[in-house]
Structure 1
Amino acid sequence: MIRGFKNFLMRGDVITVAIGLVVALAFSTLVKAFTDFVINPLIAAAGGGKGVGLGWQLGAAGNKATYLDLGSFISAIIYFIIFMAVVYFVIVVPYKTIQARRGVTVFGDPAPTKTCPACLSEDLPAAASKCLHCGTEQPAAA
């Protein structure tokens, strides 16, 4: 039972999805800060307001609703960078090491691709003999 759970957790797609969710969570924080402290004050400037901090007051002095708070946005960017560094060094690097011991390459360079001359799709595998989008014959890989 424990072995099955371990095998489930060590599947590449589970780890990839988990990392994707963590990145999405960190990015959502960055986006929320951008909207809360940059976009919202621009919109609120039409109605007037006051504020204090690193940034510019767009409306009446002291109104936080119209304050372009760059300090909070810079803090969110720093948070995002630190958070992603922690994810990389605590999750990705050990996972790559464990998978390398098992003989599996993860998070490596993408496979080489080529472009179809007929439909210009750029995602064909280098060894493809036909385009998967339009079905035209492909020249042999050089």
Structure 2
Amino acid sequence: MLRGFKNFLMRGDVIVVAVGLIVALAFSTLIKAFTDSVINPIIARAQGGSSPGLGWQLGKPGNTATYLNLGAFISALIYFIVFMAVVYFLIVVPYKHVQARRGVTVFEDDGPLKTCPACLSKDLPEAAAKCRYCGTVQPAAAV
């Protein structure tokens, strides 16, 4: 039983995922610090005056529980976009390149699609013999 667990842990896929998660966590911390220290002050300044941020007070002035903080949402959106760009360009692109050199295709783009004549779903692979939604037999793909 322990041997099977050890074999599972030592598979290449598990190691790659673990390293990817650790790197993503490190980038997440870095990007969070960037948005908190650089983006948030810029967004707060956009509101002007002595406002706590970009947004509206829905209740009594000074009550943070009823403050609709649009700036925090914009900051989180920027954080997400920057984080995903960093993960893509620093993890996914090099991984695709290394795997391509090994002869393995990863993160493959979808091939050509066709439309099912029965249910009109437009996302069937060109080589599909049956529709995944209605089960209708599909005409043979043109070669």
Once the 2 structures are TM-superposed, how far is the Cα of residue 110 of structure 1 from its aligned partner? 0.7
The answer to whether residue 74 in structure 2 is matched with residue 69 in structure 1 is no
Between the two proteins, what is the percent identity of the paired residues? Answer: 66
Once the 2 structures are TM-superposed, how far is the Cα of residue 84 of structure 1 from its aligned partner? 1.0
Once the 2 structures are TM-superposed, how far is the Cα of residue 106 of structure 1 from its aligned partner? 1.6
Q: Which amino acid aligns with 1:5?
A: M
Which residue pairs with 2:58 in the alignment? 58
Output the CA distance in 2 between the equivalents of 1:97 and 1:130: 34
RMSD value, Cα:
3.3
Which residue pairs with 1:44 in the alignment? none
Q: Which runs of 5+ in 1 are unaligned?
A: 27-50
- Residue pairs, 1:117-132, within 5 angstroms: 117-132=117-132
8 Å Cα contact 1:52/1:67 also seen in 2 = no
Give 3-state SS (helix, strand or coil) of 2:68's partner. strand
Output the CA distance in 2 between the equivalents of 1:134 and 1:53: 51
Once the 2 structures are TM-superposed, how far is the Cα of residue 130 of structure 1 from its aligned partner? 3.7
Once the 2 structures are TM-superposed, how far is the Cα of residue 9 of structure 1 from its aligned partner? 4.2
Output the CA distance in 1 between the equivalents of 2:96 and 2:64: 46
Q: Which amino acid aligns with 2:54?
A: L
Which residue pairs with 2:85 in the alignment? 85
Cα 1:56–1:8 shift into 2, 3 Å: closer
Once the 2 structures are TM-superposed, how far is the Cα of residue 62 of structure 1 from its aligned partner? 1.1
Once the 2 structures are TM-superposed, how far is the Cα of residue 111 of structure 1 from its aligned partner? 2.2
Cα 1:6–1:134 shift into 2, 3 Å: closer
Q: How many aligned residue pairs are there?
A: 109
Q: Which amino acid aligns with 1:100?
A: A
Give 3-state SS (helix, strand or coil) of 1:140's partner. coil
TM-score (ref. length: structure 1) = 0.58
Output the CA distance in 2 between the equivalents of 1:118 and 1:80: 40
Cα 1:70–1:132 shift into 2, 3 Å: closer
Give 3-state SS (helix, strand or coil) of 1:118's partner. coil
Which residue pairs with 1:37 in the alignment? none
TM-score (ref. length: structure 2) = 0.58
